[in-house]
Structure 1
Amino acid sequence: MFVPPKLLRVLAFDTSISLQRVPMQLGGLVFLRYVSITQWFEDLDDVVSNNPNLETRVVSGNGAPTIHLPSSIWKPPHLRHLELGNSYMVDPPSVDNENLQTLSWVVRPIHCRQKVYNKFPNIKNLKIFLKDDIEPSHIRGCCNNPIILDHFDYLVRLEKLSILNSIDLNAALPEECMYPSRLKKLKLSETNISEEDLNVIAKLPQLEVLKLENAFHGAVWKVVERGFSNLRFLLIEAKELKQWVVGQKHFRMLRHLVLRSCNCLEQIPECFERIPLLLSIRLEGCHSSLFVSAKQLQQNRRSNKDVKVRS
């Protein structure tokens, strides 16, 4: 069945292909609901300005340098999902957007504040790439103290949060950073969090997925009592972690454990032998004795369910 181009509701294409092959004026696609491209191009401004029905926009390009997008990207009144790769930065909107549910964007630390995110009161999925326009060498040289980000507990509808810090940007979460109680998935990458921060995260009642990628730099992590009661998936990348203290009532719902670059950790806590739902342990670039520990855990399982150990 042939659909006239002007009636298209979904447009997805690779912009590395010559735009001359697109047989239409993009500004005339007034019924578009979904746009997905790999690279921003100038004519896309017309799509934004002339498509009041646009709900989803994806610009997936990643890499360097960072490109500033026009503020018109916020213009569609029904915009619900905006996903930008880490090559694209846009200033915060000037007005509230109550429809936005998904936001993935590059943001300066000075904009990672409550006054900005209050503009998205119904946000459910937030992914932040922390970057800055200042040259990395200037960032490191101007001050040794980290840039402290904000709490996120005011985002009461938030279910998924990812914070990915630029390697050259010295940024950290505040002491005992607070998170929304509805949070189900949390990913922290290259952020400086303490054992106290982990204890706050451990008490989130609905948290199911936790990924810590060089986010915790302590040598000892003693999990708080009854911590992570609902967690299903745990990834830990911690090069300095030497001792991991876990009790019998922790991680009772855990199914999958991934340990990455844990060069100083030599043993998986024995209590993992008694986690009834544990299905797999994956080791990536870890200490050789950790693999031996995982194999021993596999043999000592009291449950009828086997645990797959992979490296």
Structure 2
Amino acid sequence: MYLDPRIKLRHLQTFAEVARLRSVGRAAERLAVSQPAVSKTLAELETILGASLMVRNRGGAVPTPIGQLFLTHAEASLAMLRHGVEAVAEGLAQTAVRLAIGCLPSVAARIVPDAAIVFAGLAPGATLSIVSGPNAFLLSELASGALDLVIGRMGPAEAMTRFSFSQLYSERIALVVRPGHPLEHETDAAAIADFPLLFPDENAAIRSIAEQFFVARGLRRRSERIETVADSFGRSFVRKTDAIWVISSGVVALDVAEGRLCELPIDMAGTSGPVGLTMRAEGEIPPVLRLFIQAVRDTVGRLALTDGRS
């Protein structure tokens, strides 16, 4: 028989506290809620179970025979939950837990900072080691055991046989320039052929997608092309030149939002690719890694990442 999903932790806590103190009022004080809230929670639990659990007499609020039977199991469940929470807390406090996380530059700029803040609240005793680099390098480090998790693009099919991949969101390519660039308001992709490019290098996960974009629009390859995904170099170079930076939108999202760089309003449909979590396929996921994954998913959900312009 499955546990009724309507039964919540607050139902068990409230019922056990009233039974222990023999008083709705004192239980309300203990739980820092109002008396009507306690009474309502008890009534909800009785409705769910289809049984009367408490009676009031001169001794206060006491369990019925059915209530006493349920109380035994409720207290045991609460005790086991407390032991579990304490075990996690003790494990984090007494053990130097270290996670090695690999991430693409776009993820390092957009997701990981907020996720690290959330994770610090979930696992204050853990240490994060953050490594950023090309997708192929990160996957090789994951395979060797040097990394516990990679947040990036899905690798080629032949490289993913040892891994599991879970998509978080899709991310497109952006064409980025300095404020005041001659093409700042240009919507015709053909216009970019007359300007130098910063293009993804051969190890970049977005290289093939960027190449396909240029081929599909008949854009010729320029001799004035620097190949890199080094974000610090890219930011500095495009601010000083008329070059156009071909880069994942997440890398420059904050720069564009704050007006330090501009994204050309050119249709980049078809340049999106999945960004997600890659782990080794074998073995159980350690609890502390599950907490970090939760922090990442919470961050992605809060930012509501889409393929559109934000």
Same fold (TM over 0.5): no
After TM superposition, the score normalised by the length of structure 2 is 0.22
Larger RCO: 1 or 2 (CA < 8 Å, sep 6+): 2
User: TM-score, structure 1 length as denominator?
Assistant: 0.22
Higher strand share: 1
Larger radius of gyration: 2
